[in-house]
Amino acid sequence: MRTNLDHLLSRLRNVGILAHVDAGKTTVTERILYLTGTIHKRGEVHDGTTVTDFDSQERDRGITIFAAAVSCDWDGHSINLIDTPGHVDFSDEVERSLRVLDGAVALFDAVAGVEPQSESVWRQADRHGVPRIAFVNKMDRPGADLDAAVDSIRQRLHVTPLVVQLPIGEEAEFSGVIDLIKMRAYVWNDGLVECPVPDALLERAVRRRRLLEETVAELHPIALDEFYARSTLSAETLAVVLRDLSLSGTGVVVLCGSAYRNRGIEPLLDAVIAYLPSPQEVPAVQGLSDGALQERVADPAAPFAALVFKVSSTATGRLTYLRVYSGTIRKGETVVDAGVGRTERISRILRVQADQHVEVHQAVAGDIVAVVGPKSARSGATLCAPAAPLVLEPAAVADPVVSVAVEARRSTDTDRLASALTRLVEEDPSLTVRTDSETGQTLLSGMGELHLEVAAEKVRRTHGLEVVVGRPQVTYRETVGRGVSGLVYRHVKQDGGAGQFAQITLDVEPLDEDFAFRSVVVGGRVPQEYVRAVEAGCRDALAEGPLGGHPVTGVRVTLTDGATHPKDSSELAFRTAGRLGLREALRASAMVLLEPVAEVTATVPEDAMGGVLGDLAARRGRISGSTARQGAMVIVATVPLAELFGYATQLRSRTQGRGTFTTRPTGYVPAPTAR
């Protein structure tokens, strides 16, 4: 039985599709599902008939908004596939997906090469150590150039591309590929046909094969030994070495094709099996158990541990999506939400096919499934066996940068709106909801205009509520420009009974990181438990700065001295002193308002370049470069996010509808004036 489970694990792949918006992720996913027999009719994005873009907003907008999981089988292997969003506003969906994936296929446009969001998701995958292969899509487009796309991968992503295919035909004449490992041609007409390499391409294919061998020999000792001994590499050695280089991240295998025209998908599936890891081949997951670091290997017999990476509400109930890292879970069993100690019962286990589900009796290590039963487990929670608690590290959640005021059109719907917003935040942790202390308005914050538009529309469609949404406002930060030293704060409260007493002395100074706290108190003048309380109070104070109530970042606080009272001092008193003392210290410091900025990449006709540059300058943009590409100009600029509201309409107007742009958040810079 154990041998059978190990065999099944070795034949499992958990893979994500990553790319810039409009690179063809959903079309590739559809073709994979069709070729594997999972669906019997190819869906099209432009027709709104795709499997993974099943949400009504995704079909209306023609983009992927929510990460969708599907399962399929190929060549005796099972593949769990996650189609991720490409728009920057939904990068947190990508982050949560990457946290639970073992490998990824990175898609690139054969004309545009590496685009801004391609680079961003690549860096996200780097942080998670996810092995990747690359697929250059849209080889049938005018201007498609595999070599140029590969050069952009090398230069912008700083990796070694290992090109294993040579295209047959260019642009509209693209009809197939030559496999440089097997030295065979694959041509697609009504179907896939394998044949010898065409004579006209044989010399070029031999040169490319030689280049691949030389590159691989430089990177891998086994290949180097064989290359020196025989002056060539066998197909078997190449396959083994390419897998090693892919798993280690030393090199990236590159394939090409046209998903829309059904060309190149079969070799891509073969590459997923050949070069991406099974759950057994990735490092054991690490978590905390009773404060100690513990590893769990992908073993169905080990104690159960799974990470919640997505929560969604459906007409039939609440679905909790899990990546099972160890052990086995069966229908009807009880698990523990390790972070909060709450017990949850698993009433159903579902194999996911986007918005369709197939019930199964169990899930084992390596599986990605949805479960019904947990009532309060949120994204990032760890569900584990009660007898073996373990807390896994959740995916990082980015701070929101744009806010809008939201209110129900009818006052009688206020409570329903609050409930709907709570459910939204449960499903998408990158959204936050708070009440403005000055205006009393409910503020919904997210990663961008589109993110908030989608959230508001979901409230309207899913919950049947009419809502009024205010104008977008960016989320500012405050930081310390020049700090203060030796600020003494004395907290005394006496209103009958036990009083409160705490005295602290603080130094405040600028810091490149978000926040740091240290204590240099000597002689036990402030006991250690009170030092921790002061730090907690200081963290409380960072929520609202003195300039405009914005969060405070970039500050180091040093506790240099203090005093206690034998009866009236307590952790509560020192936490209060830390909060109020730091607030006073910040008011005494020279504070700087920070505004979020974004990198804008605009592709515009050459004759419109002057007007676009002038418009960016009027928006306080700083131009960092421009390049010519296929009769158009690509302009890169850094622009304050507050100046980009409505930019899409303005760009279309200046370019007669021919201009496009993408944005990527790049951090915060000092704002020119206080707001």
pLDDT 10s digits, 472-511: 888 889 999 999 999 999 999 877 667 899 999 999 999 9
- Lowest model confidence (mean pLDDT) among 427-441, 481-495, 563-577: 427-441
How far is Cα of residue 264 from the mean position of the Cα atoms in its chain? 27
Q: Which class in CATH covers the domain with range 478-588?
A: alpha beta
Structure-token pair, residue 513: 């990181």
Query: What's the rounded Cα separation, in Å, for the pair 232 and 223?
Result: 9
Higher local confidence (pLDDT), 437 or 361: 361
pLDDT at 386: 92
pLDDT at 415 over 50: yes
Range from 85-94, 98-107, 181-190, 410-419 carrying the lowest mean pLDDT: 85-94
- The conformation of residue 263, written as its DSSP 8-state character, comes to B
Between CA 65 and CA 63 the distance in angstroms is: 6
pLDDT at 43 over 60: no
Q: Which two tokens stand for residue 179?
A: 């496999």
pLDDT tops 60 at residue 20: yes
Q: Tokens at residue 228, please?
A: 């020196």
Angle at 177 between CA 262 and CA 46, to 5 degrees: 25
Contact at 8 Å (CB) between 75 and 273?
yes
Determine whether the annotation assigns residue 19 to a binding site.
yes
Amino acid letter, 212: L
Delimit the domains of the chain by residue range: 2-275, 285-392, 402-473, 478-588, 595-670
List, for residues 510-556, the tens digit of each pLDDT value. Answer: 998 899 999 999 888 999 999 999 999 999 999 999 998 889 999 99
451 marked ligand binding residue: no
Do the domains at 402-473 and 595-670 have one common CATH topology?
yes
Strands 515-519 vs 555-563: parallel, antiparallel or unpaired: parallel
Provide the pLDDT for residue 303. 93
Ligand-binding site membership of 50 (annotated)? no
pLDDT tens for each residue of 273-311: 999 999 999 989 999 888 788 999 888 889 999 999 888
Residue 17 main-chain phi, psi, to 5 deg: -105, 120
Domain 595-670 annotated CATH 3.90.1570.10: no
pLDDT at position 493 is 86
pLDDT at 436 over 50: yes
How far CA 503 is from CA of 483, 484, 517, 565, 612, in Å, comes to 20, 17, 17, 9, 57
- Closest Cα to residue 427, out of 81, 27, 55, 88? 55
Is the pLDDT at 46 greater than 50? The verdict is no
CATH class name, domain 285-392: mainly beta
Closest CA to 657 of 598, 608, 600, 599: 608
> What is the CATH class of 2-275?
alpha beta
Q: Tell me if 26 is assigned to a ligand binding site.
A: yes
Cα 382 to Cα 328: distance, rounded to the nearest angstrom: 14
The H or E element spanning position 612 is: helix 609-618
Does the annotation place 80 within a ligand binding site? no
CB atoms within 10 A of CB 370: 21
- 617 in a known ligand binding site: no
* Residue 20 is assigned to a ligand binding site: yes
Give me the residues paired with residue 595 across strands.
669
Task: Identify the three-state secondary structure at position 547.
Answer: coil
The answer to whether the annotation marks 290 as part of a ligand binding site is no
What percent of the chain lies above the pLDDT cut of 70? 92
462 carries a ligand binding annotation: no
Q: Are 446 and 93 in contact (CB under 8 A)?
A: no
Residue 116 pLDDT greater than 50, yes or no: yes
The domain 402-473 is classified under which CATH number: 3.30.70.870, 3.40.50.300, 3.40.50.720, 3.40.190.170?
Answer: 3.30.70.870
Torsion sign over Cα 187, 188, 189, 193: positive
User: ∠ CA 156-163-91 to the nearest 5 degrees?
Assistant: 40
Residue 139 assigned as binding residue: yes
Q: How would you write 97-114 as a 3-class SS string? A: HHHHCCEEEEEEECCCEC
Tokens of 390: 């373990």
Q: How confident is the model at residue 675, as a pLDDT?
A: 45
CA 591, 596, 598: angle at the middle one, nearest 5? 150
Least confident of 75-79, 93-97, 524-528, 536-540: 93-97
Dihedral sign, CA of 564, 568, 572, 578?
negative
Instruction: Find the mean pLDDT for residues 45-67.
Output: 57
Residue 24 in marked binding region: yes
Stretch among 46-60, 464-478, 549-563 having the lowest mean pLDDT? 46-60
Annotated binding-site residue? 633:
no
- From CA 173, how far away is CA 150, in angstroms rounded? 20
Higher pLDDT, 25 or 241: 241
CA distance 568 to 551: 32
Distance (Å, whole) CA 639 – CA 617: 9
Mean pLDDT of the chain: 87
Which pair of tokens denotes residue 675?
């707001």
Strand partners, 625: 636
Listed residue (661, 130, 181) closest to 395, CA to CA: 130
User: 21 among the known binding-site residues?
Assistant: yes
Residue 331 is labelled as binding a ligand: no
The residue type of 512 is D
Say how many C-beta atoms besides its own lie within 10 A of residue 587's C-beta: 13
Helix (H, G, I), strand (E, B) or coil at 611: helix
Does 22 carry a binding-site annotation?
yes
Q: Which of 648, 663, 90, 20 is nearest to 400 (CA)?
A: 90
